[in-house]
Chain A
């Protein structure tokens, strides 16, 4: 375990026991097999229990038959042993059923646990390029419905297999009683299967449609709640009600279609076994009247008919579950087959000392298949220096920061720290020494303390408070009723943009990093507060190298040196004054910047 990735939490729950088969050529079941294998003991025991339960189920009608024929219709019958046997078999069946159900569900839930934790771990290793490409909502839905559909298949498929075995057992018993009546009892079975299948073919897509339309409906409601101001401002109430009425009508239409599908087919699914019963009564009653079979046999058959129909009602359901599980497994395996693009090289070494000189040598980079962002960037940061990179939006300023942290690998050239290529260093040791504060100030829904202590979950309160003070966040945090225990609302929306940035900055400062990368990290912070922050930072400025990505003049003014980025290259470096004097592009860029910097204090 890497010393750079500390774990300050404990859990009693184990790591996932196994991974999937890495060979993408194999079928999904084979690929998931290694994950099922650790649970094979439970599964085997459960299947044995299932066999017992199944045997008991087949035996019970036969015992009823014996009871009726031997004890009731003969004069010297003694009922008690038969009835005792029946109760005993019932109890055995009950226990065995509990055993196999709980066992199978248990295995399925353990498999689900392994899959979820495995996916989470895998996601943590994927590179930024993956997250640029994929919407997190898609991953969540895979983690939710896809895992669940595999889990459901895992729990149901064995049950139906067992039901089918039961069916064979029942058939054998029935044949020994009366082959003709067995044939009659079987007549309706295909009908059950077809009707149940037909019902599901219709109802499955329909329930998705109903869900989708309910979701559309919820969207209309939701935007009218959140956009109520706009609706009122433009007196659009009636139109929005019409929009909603249309949506409600669409729900009703698809619901009624679904209701009709059920109304048409589910009475048929119910009726066919009953018609079989009527048929068994006719033929069996006739045979019994003829003396060919006993009354007990007739009774046993009417129970076997219902038993025969049961698996066929669910067979189609399990087939669909299987189909869906296959599709889901495909999606999950696809996710697990994603490989990180940025990986530690074999033989990568840890960066042990605080970085001194950071250099970009002829760095070129493009995101995915896009236009190149950086063409040939040469840049040097000296130890203890504060360097601001400025440029128009979209000029690739943030990319420079991301390449330094090795969120991406350069396409050409190299980024070195004290002469060592960052690709020869372990990622975790590199990131240990470099703190990164992004512009979007994402905060987690945890307490402010936990947010600030994010990089070092075990940090002491004083360290958290120090970081908050340096980031000029301490005052407002301490003024909150719950102080550092205040839990940030969803995505941190209940703090102002500037406050969020200050908390995010405190998070970066907590680790007291040797290199600090601020990617437009104080853009929403009031200029006076920003000055305060930089004053605090300046106290340590000579022990810390700072890379500033900046828009505002007030921020740029705090740097020792400024590098101007334009069209993928650093076109000029020097102090602010130097650049202003000799670089017209710099002055031009600042012309727009100048104005708001000055407006800031005049807010009410």
Chain B
């Protein structure tokens, strides 16, 4: 029982790099790291060297070899050989004690030769030291091997994820993907760190002890193997199964308890306002009670197994003393040998116990390996050609010719679409949800490959150029403005990491976020996540626009957010939009007429193609669907079209 580490592994995020200064923010004086550990942790961190610059290359076109255990450990083979050697030394030296004791008793004590006793004790002490040294070497070596393998694997899986196209992320649940990178890698880690080493240590121990027991006394050994060991194995097997089941139940139920508490707190204002407090108390008692019952079941199983295993061992020992004692009395066994036998017995049960427990580690480790292998086997939908060329700096001319696309075969979303966008032109795509506006935009950015026809940018087919060079010049501002952990600066400069502070400031000012910067003490270095400044939905969108503005792509694809902004923010976003679009080719996926009207031309996307295409005035003249919508808007009090200011 080595109980180290945070209880239940809880509170993972407490000690992040920024966690030391959070107590004040929580409102209660001592939140965060357990204070008694903080000093020790900081002392350790002070010794950390500056890590070398990571040496990673992103090759979007590269394929992944299949993931097998053999391939995973192959580069470590020489180290593993040394580790196995150390394990053998450690195990063998660890088993010498009882034999040496037997010799000391039989040849030393019985024969009244203290010299033999001292010699045996000296050898014993020497072997203990050798064992400790081998243990030291083995632990640090296997730990390092495993950590190297895991580091490589983490990067490899992540790189493979980066190769996937956007739809992969939409399709897969992010929680599942995250658990591949966390719990599955952890399961594999347990397999590498403990699983294999223990298999060798314990397996070897069992085999060696069995051999020694047979040499000492075949009768006793046979007796032991036939009667005591099966009882012990069955008992341990029962415990393994029962404890796994209850452990999972406890885990599920504590999750229920926390989820219930979390909701109660998140909705506490509603709970109070609706007089729901007592009802919720009763519900909480139910989930906590169920958790308590599961915990009690778990502790009962443990409380049965531990003593039962001990009693089995002790009764076995009594049996050995009885039968062995008769042999001694008959003169078939020496006292020393019997002593050795009894002492080996105690080292015999522990490894069996361990081996049975290891079963779970194997099961989980192998399952994790399988799941990670499946993930690495997923082929990216969009692949860069091996002979892809760098897209030269573009003017921003985009052309779709005869483009067709279907997510599901047989139900085309787009069919034979032709559209030419001149450099610097702003085109708005409008149309009902699901008509294919976003798909059209994704094809331009090559988030999908066209099913038919082609998309060209300045005359280059998007499939012939490298993805990196394409996307560097062709920016997308997604609908949900996603912010990364980090400062305002990190987020705004996301597309241009080497931007100067002045450039970042300028972009932030241009979208009208200067007041936000002035509001905060740290300026553009203010963190934007939970511990930093809280941003309104409008401010987040403005930051996303500043990000696009700083990257200054020649073609900008903008998915208008439908989320509800307050009026002031909406006006600010619109102004910022004009600034960002100035001088670039723009493809606007517009959800509101007011936005669409600001474009040079408007395309109504419906029924797999462009139903109408033209300037605002032309479409109003045409008296089609756009005109109908426009009339409804005017009737509801909408203002006439305002020109987009041009600089």
Contacts and interface: CB of A to CB of B under 8 A. Distances in A.
The residue among A87, A117, A229, A593 with the most chain B CB atoms within 10 A of its own CB is A229
Interface in B558-582: 562-564, 566-568, 570-571
A141 interface: yes
Interface stretch (B64-72, B216-224, B349-357, B475-483): B475-483
Which 8 pairs across A and B sit closest by C-beta, in order of nearness?
Answer: A259-B143, A13-B289, A285-B117, A282-B121, A263-B139, A245-B54, A212-B15, A598-B637
A524 B284 contact: no
Contacts of A86: 314, 317-318, 321
A209 B257 CA distance: 27
A113 B263 CA distance: 19
A contacts with B: majority SS? helix
A105 B303 contact: yes
A395 interface: no
B410 interface: no
A204 interface: yes
Given A227-B482, A604-B433, A604-B592, 15 more contacts: A64-B342, A90-B310, A135-B26, A205-B44, A226-B174, A241-B155, A249-B151, A259-B140, A267-B133, A278-B121, A281-B101, A295-B339, A431-B272, A497-B563, A523-B564
B421 interface: no
Contacts of A229: 166, 169, 476, 478, 482
A101 B302 contact: yes
16 contacts: A9-B282, A101-B303, A136-B262, A205-B40, A206-B44, A217-B154, A223-B484, A244-B155, A246-B54, A263-B139, A267-B131, A281-B104, A285-B109, A317-B3, A435-B274, A599-B636
Interface stretch (A269-277, A346-354, A355-363, A479-487): A269-277
B335 A123 contact: no
Residue among B57, B284, B472, B593 facing the most chain A CB atoms (10 A cut-off) = B284
A134 B314 contact: no
A416 interface: no
Contacts of A250: 51
Interface in A55-106: 60, 64, 67-68, 71-73, 77, 79-80, 82-84, 86-87, 90-91, 93-95, 97-98, 101-102, 105-106
A224 interface: yes
Given A134-B28, A144-B8, A282 B594 contact: no
Contacts of A207: 4-6
B231 interface: no
Interface in A175-225: 200-209, 211-212, 214-225
Nearest to B186: A214
Contacts, number: 581
A154 interface: no
Interface in B99-135: 100-101, 104-105, 108-110, 112-114, 117-118, 120-122, 124-125, 128-129, 131-133, 135
Interface on chain B toward A: helix, strand, loop, or mixed SS? helix
Interface in A365-412: 393, 405, 407
A339 interface: no
A237 B110 CA distance: 76
Contacts of A121: 281
B275 interface: yes
B445 interface: yes
A233 B261 contact: no
A266 B54 contact: no
Contacts of A282: 117-118, 121-122
A5 interface: yes
Contacts of B36: 320, 323-324, 327
A604 B428 CA distance: 13
A271 B430 contact: no
B310 A93 contact: yes
A289 B274 contact: no
B319 to A, nearest CB: 8
B633 A598 contact: yes
Contacts of A581: none
B548 to A, nearest CB: 8
Contacts of B299: 101-102, 105-106, 109
Given A15-B285, A68-B335, A232 B471 contact: yes
Interface string B307-342: 110110011011101100110110000010011001
Contacts of A460: none
A252 B288 contact: no
B447 A232 contact: yes
A331 B30 contact: yes
Contacts of A214: 12, 182, 186
B430 A604 contact: yes
Given A234-B475, A256-B147, A431-B274, A211 B15 contact: yes
B622 interface: no
B162 A212 contact: no
A98 B309 CA distance: 11
B343 interface: yes
Contacts of A240: 158, 162
Contacts of A67: 321, 325
B246 interface: no
A108 to B, nearest CB: 8
A211 to B, nearest CB: 5
A205 B37 contact: yes
B34 interface: yes
Contacts of B38: 205
Contacts of B385: none
B314 to A, nearest CB: 4
Interface in B39-59: 40-41, 44-45, 47-49, 51-54, 56-58
Interface in A1-45: 1-2, 4-15
B258 A143 contact: yes
Nearest to B556: A233
A133 B342 CA distance: 64
B292 A110 contact: yes
B482 A260 contact: no
Given A106-B299, A267-B139, A497-B564, A79 B326 contact: yes
B148 A252 contact: yes
A8 B283 CA distance: 10
